[in-house]
A and B are shown apart, each in its own frame.
Chain A
């Protein structure tokens, strides 16, 4: 298990435990993080798990796939350089301490 931080749309910080291998979206929704609707359930279709990476360890996060980039570019008005769809990131032990800001809508 690792610890992740989510800054919810209200500004509140949430610290959650995430199991290696599950998606970050899944860990966040299971913990009830506000603002992550995850309408499609992790199929990289809806962009309702969109978060900004505020802080990540040096090992960082895996590369973004073309599909993830397409979905972000074409569904979100708020895509930024640090944008990620959290359903597309499997939790790894190198991610301990990563901080995400929930974009929400």
Chain B
């Protein structure tokens, strides 16, 4: 950690409030202008705010290692470390937090299943699932679009890929929330211990899936990984397979839930844009991109320098931990005109960095976009007169990493 006393780019903790949502946009707009790369004493990280700098870091995986991506923001209590060790939790660096050449080997195996072919061939089933979720809302008057719609849907879609149709989606959600709380939340001791217990359940569940697929292979992700292992054990190990399954069950739905919440929140706040989508549902893909740009479900992503390196005008030492603000990069005035406006017709909305950039680019991105497109199309056609319930607190999540409304009350006005 860099010493504040020797750091010329420090900022008072009261200014940067990484767990808070309100004020984030305004804060980063000011920092992009005044001090685009700064050190934050509260977290011990260098914060990077401009899109060009963020892209340059993503594009240079040798000098900016991904090794710290899943590190806990604050050290686990010793009791939690002991508990996880005793229970056999082995979260090895496998994918998002793994560098080359290991990353290349694992990504090749994972991406040979998690790619656009698999997602597209399942589109009819995914459409049915979204339709079913929309139909469940009908006739209910006032609903919470998060809890009643966006919370479970992406997990159910993911189960298609994992071949686990009968698991309780809410159980998976609790597990994923617990994992994010462990890594990037500001929970107290008891909450962290409880999160640890939930994560162990999650870990063991993934182990059980692997064990089952070894006996009963199917057309699903774990079976595909096991087949690759059988062909060449050096291509992917069984431990890595459990880690990959754990990873996809974690990353594959929480983010999409938040993307739905963020995009619907922005759309319904801007009646003109919502009405445009209602009248032209073919614009759904454009609104998906603009939603991802203006309301990224992952607001911060991390790297650590492997050598002294310049970011913008600031020289960072070797071993400097970095937080790239994706939320800030996506609203960089240098690239996006009127960046705080939500505009479905924005020509360069796709230039956001919400899925990263380069060798670690999110493998689930095409699936997330497909789900979001269907959600926007079907919701806007089913409930064209839907309105946000005014003056309700969206209960923004309190993690440094992922961001979305905890609730989104709407009147369907059928």
Contacts and interface: CB of A to CB of B under 8 A. Distances in A.
A43 B120 CA distance: 18
Contacts of A45: 115-116, 361-363, 365-366
A42 B366 CA distance: 15
B361 to A, nearest CB: 4
A77 interface: no
Interface string B340-360: 000000000011000111111
Contacts of B351: 37, 39
Contact of A70 (B116, B350, B362, B363): B116
Given A37-B350, A73-B117, A74-B117, A42 B112 contact: no
Give me the 10 closest cross-chain CB pairs, A-B, nearest first: A43-B361, A41-B358, A41-B357, A70-B117, A40-B361, A74-B116, A74-B120, A70-B115, A45-B361, A74-B117
Contacts of B55: 41
Interface in A2-42: 37, 39-42
A75 interface: yes
A71 B115 contact: yes
A40 B355 contact: yes
A71 B351 CA distance: 19
Interface residues of B, number: 24
A66 interface: yes
A49 interface: no
Contacts, number: 50
23 contacts: A40-B355, A40-B357, A40-B361, A41-B55, A41-B58, A41-B359, A41-B361, A42-B359, A43-B358, A43-B360, A43-B361, A45-B361, A45-B362, A45-B365, A66-B112, A67-B112, A70-B115, A70-B117, A71-B116, A73-B117, A74-B116, A74-B117, A75-B116
B111 interface: yes
A84 B366 CA distance: 19
Residues of A contacting B: mostly: loop
B169 interface: no
A53 interface: no
A66 B108 CA distance: 10
Contact of B111 (A39, A42, A44, A75): A44
Interface in B294-335: none
Contacts of A71: 115-116
Contacts of B357: 40-41
A37 B119 CA distance: 22
B262 to A, nearest CB: 20
